[in-house]
A and B are shown apart, each in its own frame.
Chain A
């Protein structure tokens, strides 16, 4: 079983639509991170959320950390083809930086 469960695993939507992806755990994390990975490349850090209830915005991307620090969400407004990629959440547990299995997002023009 995954320590961090992401949903949905796959999402394909039209340009201009909004979407939300989720990262859930039964464990408390001191912080959670979101990364985006494009084919053939390493993941790139998007944001770190630290405080329960925290909301961070990065242009059209909004990240939220749950009040109990067990879950996080990523909301994209007016998705664009350039948002296509694998979105990964990650957190530290026992000195291990562990990742969810990712949400593979495809934005169709």
Chain B
């Protein structure tokens, strides 16, 4: 158990809908990273938050947004969903900078139908 909790574990929704994925980092970790992993693909970096502030963005679509709350949990919002958004979405947390060893949750498997 990495200590990172992601909910829900599975999500099936229709095209055009909006969903929210939730991540609770390990206790004390200030950084949260979000990744997208499509079938047989590597991890694509989406966004990094540190102590409530956005630190870096990857190739995150405009339809996607994220935030980190004062209690350090984070949410990834995906809107106007398309079939191609079907993927595993992982969050990872890290203690602090510059230590960037990341601890991953078990992921949310999103299926858009």
What is A's interface to B at a CB cutoff of 8 Å?
A: 2, 30-31, 33, 35, 40-45, 48, 88, 90, 92, 94-102, 104
Residues 82-110 of B, flagged 1 when their CB comes within 8 A of A and 0 if not, give 00000000101010001011111111010
B55 to A95, Cβ gap below 8 A? yes
A94 to B56, Cβ gap below 8 A? yes
> Closest CB-CB distance, B39 to chain A, in whole Å?
11
Chain A hits for B106, CB < 8 A:
40-42
> Closest CB-CB distance, B62 to chain A, in whole Å?
18
Asked if B113 is at the interface of the complex by the 8 Å CB criterion, the answer is no
Closest 7 CB pairs of A and B: A42-B104, A95-B56, A101-B42, A99-B43, A95-B55, A96-B56, A92-B100
Asked if B2 is at the interface of the complex by the 8 Å CB criterion, the answer is yes
Count contacts between A and B, CB distance < 8 Å: 62
**Complex-state Cα separation, A90 to B33, whole angstroms:** 13
B45 to A42, Cβ gap below 8 A? no
Asked if B48 is at the interface of the complex by the 8 Å CB criterion, the answer is yes
Of chain B, the residue at the smallest CB distance from A90 is B102
**Complex-state Cα separation, A99 to B45, whole angstroms:** 8
B48 to A95, Cβ gap below 8 A? yes
Chain B hits for A40, CB < 8 A:
106-107, 109
**Complex-state Cα separation, A43 to B100, whole angstroms:** 14
Chain A hits for B94, CB < 8 A:
97
